[in-house]
Amino acid sequence: MLENINEKCAVVGIFGHKEASKLAYFSLHALQHRGQEAAGISSSDGEKIKTIKDRGLVIRVFNEEKLATLSGTSAIGHTRYSTAGDDSILDAQPVFARYDLGEMAIVHNGNLTNAEEVRNYLIKKGAIFQTFMDTENLIHLIAKSEKEKLVDRIIDATRSIEGAYSLVFLSRKKMFAMRDRFGFRPLSLGRIANGGYVVASETCAFDLIGAEFIRDVEPGELLVFEQDKAPTSIKVFEPTPKRCIFEYVYFARPDSRVFGQSVYQMRKNMGAELAKIAPIEADMVIPVPDGGVPSAIGYSQASGIPYEMGIMRNHYIGRTFIEPTQEMRDLKVKMKLSPMTDTIKGKVIIVIDDSIVRGTTSRRIVKMLKEAGAKEVHMRISSPPTTDPCFYGVDTPNKEKLIAANMTVEAICEFIEADSLAYLDSESLLRSVNATEDNYCTACFTGKYIV
């Protein structure tokens, strides 16, 4: 239950559809799990770009009236996660700018690893920044480029940046979508049933708006969308894929296809691998909802141990402004998760979760299950120990706060007060998702950073 690790955002772009902003809105709904702090949409009617963005969930930021003002046949959208104290509306996206070629808006999923260096260079050259977002670097780089066409300026700008980016740009007449050469973050291309194209962080957005998946935007590829034309592909960088394996572990929705494979199936595979490498006799397998569900199904099917719902999740608490006091700290978990006492009482249970970050949540879950009468609680984690932070667009705590960076598995087991604890190892995870270390990033488990 990765409440301390968060995907920083989702992007979407709609081109060539008369209800572009509405489709962007519905797509953002489907992508809400990738960021809940702010949402925004920019649309173009061919003459000018209009942007609406605000803090909050997509459903709070937009209504029928607001969407009606976002006219035109192209639109881009964004949902954002932000760290505490960094929730200014200025940092919500799309980022809009006027420059010598006209107007543009950008949405970005990822993290630029040389953002500070580029920003300092731009500031020395006289640029004035309005936000703390690395995305703003791109606006300045594009504005500063001496190329005549926007497409060449985008290429120019991306040659100065490093790190993780899935980007969608909107100009008055065109749309552009691009992934960094490593393809850390996903970005897929689809065709809308009654005309037009869509690009989105995950294919679950396509299903909602009735679009058909065509293919992923390739690492290092720039797609150009122009009226009455099929998208044109430009290979800006030689692809050297290092896709984020954590998309399969946790971020992506199980009904999405990410990097060409079903997320649900990959998670079931992880559970099946876990059953092979960490078997134990038990009465039932239960997931920590919702993240542990597909892996628990996989574990149950591979081991033959019945799958049960042992923990109920309350979906309606949202954000609570009352922080439980020290004495009431277990309340925080209990507000979200409740034990199914009649099911688990007196039973030996295997609990499947997707990861342990700080350990405090797992400890409270074990305590809650034991208080509800579970005889033994065996924790099984469907990913390797999270030992290193991410610099490629995922918000993780510092290394000092990652329990697996500072304790052995035995010590973590003792800390969370489980009867046993086992993780999936790196090789098994790679095997589960048909990957190798050559084409996937595994840095948060291995510390092997690429850039």
Catalytically active residues, by annotation = 9
Binding ligand SF4 (rule: CB under 6 A), the pick from 184, 237, 259, 264 is: 184
Sign for the CA dihedral angle at 308, 5, 261, 255 comes to: positive
One-character DSSP codes across 257-321: EETTEEHHHHHHHHHHHHHHHS----SEEEE-TTTTHHHHHHHHHHH-PPB---EEE-TT----S
CA-closest candidate to residue 242, choices 274, 220, 223, 222: 220
- Does 112 bind ligand SF4 (CB under 6 A)? Our answer is no
Report the nearest approach of ligand SF4 to the CB of residue 159 (Å). Answer: 22
Taking the C-alpha atoms of residue 451 and residue 444, their distance in angstroms, rounded to an integer, is: 13
- Does 394 bind ligand SF4 (CB under 6 A)? Our answer is yes
Q: Which is nearer to ligand SF4, 258 or 441 (CB)?
A: 441
Report the nearest approach of ligand SF4 to the CB of residue 111 (Å). Answer: 9
- Does 223 bind ligand SF4 (CB under 6 A)? Our answer is no
Check if the beta carbon of residue 354 is closer than 8 Å to that of residue 250: yes
Q: Which is nearer to ligand SF4, 151 or 441 (CB)?
A: 441
- The enclosing H or E element of 369 equals helix 360-371
What is the footprint of ligand SF4 within residues 279-338 (CB under 6 A)? none
- Does 392 bind ligand SF4 (CB under 6 A)? Our answer is yes
What is the footprint of ligand SF4 within residues 412-441 (CB under 6 A)? 441
- Does 244 bind ligand SF4 (CB under 6 A)? Our answer is yes
Binding ligand SF4 (rule: CB under 6 A), the pick from 106, 390, 418, 435 is: 390
Q: Residue 434: which residues within 8 A CB-CB, separation 6 or more?
A: 261
- Does 246 bind ligand SF4 (CB under 6 A)? Our answer is yes
Q: Which stretch binds ligand SF4 (CB under 6 A): 132-140, 253-261, 389-397, 418-426?
A: 389-397
Taking the C-alpha atoms of residue 166 and residue 187, their distance in angstroms, rounded to an integer, is: 6
Taking the C-alpha atoms of residue 287 and residue 296, their distance in angstroms, rounded to an integer, is: 5
- Does 374 bind ligand SF4 (CB under 6 A)? Our answer is no
Tell me the helix, strand and coil percentages in the chain, rounded to 5. 30, 25, 40
Please provide residue 88's backbone torsions phi and psi, each rounded to the nearest 5 degrees.
-65, 145
Taking the C-alpha atoms of residue 109 and residue 9, their distance in angstroms, rounded to an integer, is: 5
How many residues bind to ligand SF4 according to rule CB under 6 A? 11
- Does 263 bind ligand SF4 (CB under 6 A)? Our answer is no
Binding ligand SF4 (rule: CB under 6 A), the pick from 41, 154, 377, 443 is: 443
- Does 197 bind ligand SF4 (CB under 6 A)? Our answer is no
Positions in the binding site for ligand SF4 (CB under 6 A):
184, 244-246, 390, 392, 394, 441-444
